[in-house]
Amino acid sequence: MMKKILQNKHLKENKKTYAGGSVVVGGLMLVWFGLPALFAASYDSGVEQKMISLTHGAVEEMGEEVVVTDTPLYIETPEQVKNIYMTACVAGTPSFREDLIEIADTTEINSIIIDIKDFSGGISFDTENPVLKPYVSKRCGASDMAGLVRTLNEKGVYVIGRITVFQDPLYADAHPEIAVQKASDRSTWSDNKGIHFIDVGAEKYWEYIVELSKESHRMGFDELNFDYVRYPSDGPMKDIYFPISNDRAVDQKKEVLRDFFAYLYEELNVKEGIVTSADLFGMTTTNTDDLNIGQYLEYALPYFDYVAPMVYPSHYPKNFNGWVNPNDHVYDLVHFVMKSGFDRAEALRTATTTPDGIAKRVGGHQLRTWIQDFDYGGTYDAPEVRAQIQASYDAGVKSWMIWAPSNRYTVGALESE
């Protein structure tokens, strides 16, 4: 018996139940009717109407077995990533997300990064995975996330899933024993926004992040991006205690974080072949300490395919590099800090102290520039946004990602497709 494989782009299986409807698949018009485990379908072969029956994905049709699959597409990482950010709430709002898809359709944008887990700790898609299900967001998310990712891939858009890591109030509430605590009474610590963090050294939580990463990749995300990979900073720092890594957190924060990076690399890159990236504070490209949050550029570069410093001009202090107001020098600032990062990455590439088998991954080419497209500290319109992009190019960094928490982008700063 011959076997024909069809990519199932539209049929949605939910506990072995298929909803009724019709669709063109591989040139065949399918019409199906909702039955618990079996549906009858008719399609126009171009010659005559034929009836086929499907049981759990297998189609028998005149001696020919047709297996309907729902395999994610996955597309290669573009040589030059040009990305915009989509929140979980926007991903779950079709009318809003279409605005962002339109930007990708009509401009140079070739990639979109979507929240998988944001600052709330909530997961943005439904799952039956018992490890993850308790943390599915009741606030924001997309019930059709797999379909959204697939649709973007079909348009040639590279899809990155963003996972906010150690900032996770949901998991902290469920597991206070590994949450960052107050030194005074061992209750759960909060930053200035009232958000809880997980101790960076909590290996139990590392396993959770890897499980979420694998589930997300199976859903179809082409790349996984890790944000908030750091110790907390903004809050009552004199009353803070790390129940897992407290002894090492005194002067080894960057080593604890490096252990986490190495774990992700082994579990995701080596074992699963998943493309990964990490977001770092902008000042990691110019500072040689760990900023007291554990982030040190040379300790991140070997373990991720791409590293994206968040070099928003508004986030630099007054008089940085002699500029009274960094917002008045967006080109100069981004060029200065990304050139520093590029040079450090190239120096590490030729060094002999990086882990065996990993050093060859390192270099300035793996950097991406996070671009500011929001009014904070100054006005950011088309000239300011484009100036940052050009500064990144001139610093040797060809890939960039635009951050607008509102998800309203300055399209005038982008080249038309």
Give the per-residue pLDDT at 53.
29
Give the per-residue pLDDT at 264.
98
At residue 369, does pLDDT exceed 50? yes
The amino acid at residue 406 is S
Q: Which band of pLDDT confidence, cut at 50, 70 and 90, is reported for residue 28?
A: very low
CA angle 159, 162, 163 (to 5 degrees): 145
At residue 414, does pLDDT exceed 90? yes
Q: How far is 314 from 127, CA to CA, in rounded Å?
A: 38
372 DSSP β-pair partners: 403
DSSP for residue 160: E
Q: How far is 343 from 157, CA to CA, in rounded Å?
A: 30
* DSSP letters spanning 394-406: HTT--EEEEE-TT
**How are beta strands 13-14 and 2-7 bridged, if at all?**
unpaired
Q: How far is 400 from 385, CA to CA, in rounded Å?
A: 11
DSSP for residue 224: E
Q: What is the CA radius of gyration of the chain?
A: 24
Average pLDDT over residues 77-106: 98
The domain limits of the chain are 2-69, 82-413
* DSSP letters spanning 19-57: --EEEEETTEEEEE---SSEEEEEEE-SSSEEEEEEETT
Give the per-residue pLDDT at 220.
97
Q: How far is 141 from 124, CA to CA, in rounded Å?
A: 4
44 DSSP β-pair partners: 49
Q: How far is 25 from 295, CA to CA, in rounded Å?
A: 48
Q: Which band of pLDDT confidence, cut at 50, 70 and 90, is reported for residue 304?
A: very high
SS3 108: coil
Q: How far is 56 from 15, CA to CA, in rounded Å?
A: 10
CATH of domain 82-413: 3.20.20.80
Choose between 64 and 53: higher pLDDT.
Answer: 64
Q: Which band of pLDDT confidence, cut at 50, 70 and 90, is reported for residue 359?
A: low
At residue 59, does pLDDT exceed 70? no
Picking from 285, 278, 272, 273, the residue whose alpha carbon sits closest to that of residue 343 is 285
Give the per-residue pLDDT at 363.
87
* DSSP letters spanning 343-378: HHHHHHHT-S-SPTTTGGG-SGGGBEEEEE-S-SSS
Give the per-residue pLDDT at 39.
29
At residue 67, does pLDDT exceed 60? no
Q: Which band of pLDDT confidence, cut at 50, 70 and 90, is reported for residue 349?
A: confident
Give the per-residue pLDDT at 35.
29
Is 191 in contact with 235 (CB distance < 8 Å)?
yes
Q: Render pLDDT for 189-243 as a digit per residue (tens, 0 to 9).
A: 999 999 999 999 999 999 999 999 999 999 999 999 999 999 999 999 999 999 9
Choose between 416 and 362: higher pLDDT.
Answer: 416
Give the per-residue pLDDT at 417.
85
Q: Render pLDDT for 305-347 as a digit per residue (tens, 0 to 9).
A: 999 999 999 999 999 999 999 999 999 999 999 999 999 999 9
Give the per-residue pLDDT at 353.
60
Choose the weakest-confidence range: 41-50, 147-156, 161-170, 319-328.
Answer: 41-50
Give the per-residue pLDDT at 357.
57
SS3 64: strand
* DSSP letters spanning 302-332: GG-SEEEEE--GGGSPTTBTTBSSGGG-HHH
Percent of the chain with pLDDT over 70: 81
Average pLDDT of every residue of the chain = 85
Average pLDDT over residues 60-86: 74
Q: Render pLDDT for 150-162 as a digit per residue (tens, 0 to 9).
A: 999 999 999 999 9
Picking from 275, 331, 261, the residue whose alpha carbon sits closest to that of residue 111 is 275
Choose the weakest-confidence range: 36-40, 131-135, 413-417.
Answer: 36-40
At residue 17, does pLDDT exceed 90? no
At residue 163, does pLDDT exceed 90? yes
Give the per-residue pLDDT at 362.
82
Average pLDDT over residues 182-186: 98
Average pLDDT over residues 117-141: 97
At residue 44, does pLDDT exceed 60? no
